[in-house]
Amino acid sequence: MRRSPDDEAPYAAGFRSTPREVADVALPVRGTLPDWLSGVLLRVAPALFEVGEQRYAHWFDGLARLHRFAFADGRVTYRSRFLRSRAYEEATRAGRIVHAEFATDPCRSLFGRVQAILEPTTTDNAVVSVNRIGGDVVALTETRLPVRFDPDTLETLGIHDFSTFVEGSVSTAHPHHDGASAYTYLISFGRRSAYHVHAVDHAGVERELARIPVERPSYMHSFGMSARRLILAEFPFVVNPLRLYLSGVPFIRNYRWDPTRGTTLTALDKETGAQVGRWSAPPLFAFHHVNAVEREDALEVDLVAYDDASVIDALYLARLRGSEPVRAVGRLVRLTLPAGGGDVTVRSLSDTPIELPRIDYPRHQGRPYRWVWGNGQAGADFLDSIVKIDLAGDPATNARVWREDGAWPGEPVLVRRPGSEAEDDGVLLSVVLDARAERSYLLVLDAATLEEIARAEAPEIVTFGFHGNFLGTPEDGPLHA
Ligand SMILES: [Fe+2]
């Protein structure tokens, strides 16, 4: 449904700057929090969308603020602080945008622009996710500059330094973990561009597993991991590296959609980095891999797919705040990569679109699994619901949905009930904007039924962000890996 051209989007409050930090406050709870729920939900989100007279252009660009919801004894407290990144410190000090972001470039000389994108002075505005690399809890964006912070105080501790032998300036905010290591990749741009795939063990020791030369690097937001493989999906949204140096436009605007290239999938052995397979698939685009599972005769790679990369354009702030509806969901699909090579098949796993997908990562990443949770879009406007998809069900009817009028939920993070057997025995934690009240609340849903268990009202709007993780018991996942 079209809104009047002068109308703001009904959820636009979630894209307004929130400059005030919040010290520890107890939140009023409606309902009853599970007594076993103990730990901390850590999230990061863009919360300053302008500096002085200048505005950031894209949802991925605003200055990062950390949010911490701490659960214990049926109570929840909330704290929120800006990440004191160099991008934040220099911008707030100068009263203008200093570092180039994903789709925002400060006015600068050509030399400065090249530096901004390709040198270690590139942005550390780690606005996308919270995770762990080596021994560090970090906020991440898509550069090689994860920012360490204290998960209790939210104090910024400085950059997580990769070793100098690690090449590449652009990375992913979605590292993977298994019992032994974190895995990530960096992309180096130049006359000889390459994907550099890395393992970082829990003592912080880094290894370059593979270096894959590439002429036109693809924009990749995440990658896949099965029990024994790392999987890069190169979508045909690619860049001529020279453009990054010479074009004079922000980073992502140098990329071009070229469907004639198709999608290339490369599987690497997780231990040795050896290439174990390479496949061509139809052209598609995705931000998020969901899971990957090895079968006897094939490797299955599940992701949230789009027909092309135009969703990136839909997420410019002017469009998100404006009067036109924004479609921000994709299709959950399975790419089946035959062992030994051959044609890749792409099969839709659900008729219900989804984004910001989550699974029971600690127990089911890389293994057979049944449930995917995420945000849905039941109405026209924007992400407006929480969905649970049953991969064992009929794609036409395999989704359960939580939705409430005037409520705009973010990524649902699964916390499994300690000692539970079932994959969906636990709760989902989602920060929801109540647009009418102009406040946010933390929603606690039963992960199996999507019924509300409790909600805790935040003292303010928590701006729309992307990802978070739960730091509780060692079974809770990446932050403990
Ligand atoms: Fe993401």
The domain that holds 307 is classified in CATH as 2.130.10
CA atoms of 48 and 26, how far apart (whole Å): 24
What is the domain range of residue 355?
12-480
User: Which residue shows structure tokens 């997580």?
Assistant: 160
Residues of the chain with pLDDT under 70: 1-6, 107-121, 474-481
Q: Is residue 268 part of a domain?
A: yes
Closest CA to 169 of 210, 123, 111: 123
Asked if 371 contacts 346 with a C-beta cutoff of 8 angstroms, the reply is no
CA atoms of 19 and 17, how far apart (whole Å): 6
Rg (CA), the chain: 21
Asked if 17 contacts 61 with a C-beta cutoff of 8 angstroms, the reply is no
> What's the 146 CA to ligand 1 centre distance in angstroms?
14
> What's the 449 CA to ligand 1 centre distance in angstroms?
25
Q: Give the tokens for residue 102.
A: 């994903």
Q: How many domains does the chain have?
A: 1
CA atoms of 290 and 354, how far apart (whole Å): 11
> What's the 174 CA to ligand 1 centre distance in angstroms?
7
Q: Is residue 177 part of a domain?
A: yes
> What's the 232 CA to ligand 1 centre distance in angstroms?
15
In single-letter form, the type of residue at position 17 comes to: S
CA atoms of 304 and 189, how far apart (whole Å): 27
> What's the 465 CA to ligand 1 centre distance in angstroms?
10
Q: Is residue 230 part of a domain?
A: yes
> What's the 279 CA to ligand 1 centre distance in angstroms?
24
> What's the 222 CA to ligand 1 centre distance in angstroms?
7
Q: Is residue 5 part of a domain?
A: no
> What's the 290 CA to ligand 1 centre distance in angstroms?
11
Q: Is residue 340 part of a domain?
A: yes
> What's the 73 CA to ligand 1 centre distance in angstroms?
31
> What's the 22 CA to ligand 1 centre distance in angstroms?
25
> What's the 60 CA to ligand 1 centre distance in angstroms?
10
> What's the 145 CA to ligand 1 centre distance in angstroms?
16
> What's the 286 CA to ligand 1 centre distance in angstroms?
10
Q: Is residue 4 part of a domain?
A: no
> What's the 412 CA to ligand 1 centre distance in angstroms?
13
**CA 328-333-334 angle, 5° bins:** 155
- What pLDDT score was predicted for residue 122? 79
Q: Give the tokens for residue 73.
A: 């004894």
**CA 238-243-247 angle, 5° bins:** 130
User: Which residue shows structure tokens 């231990």?
Assistant: 271
> What's the 6 CA to ligand 1 centre distance in angstroms?
31
> What's the 357 CA to ligand 1 centre distance in angstroms?
9
> What's the 132 CA to ligand 1 centre distance in angstroms?
15
> What's the 127 CA to ligand 1 centre distance in angstroms?
10
> What's the 173 CA to ligand 1 centre distance in angstroms?
7
- What pLDDT score was predicted for residue 120? 40
Q: Is residue 6 part of a domain?
A: no
> What's the 109 CA to ligand 1 centre distance in angstroms?
31
> What's the 380 CA to ligand 1 centre distance in angstroms?
22
> What's the 172 CA to ligand 1 centre distance in angstroms?
8
- What pLDDT score was predicted for residue 262? 98
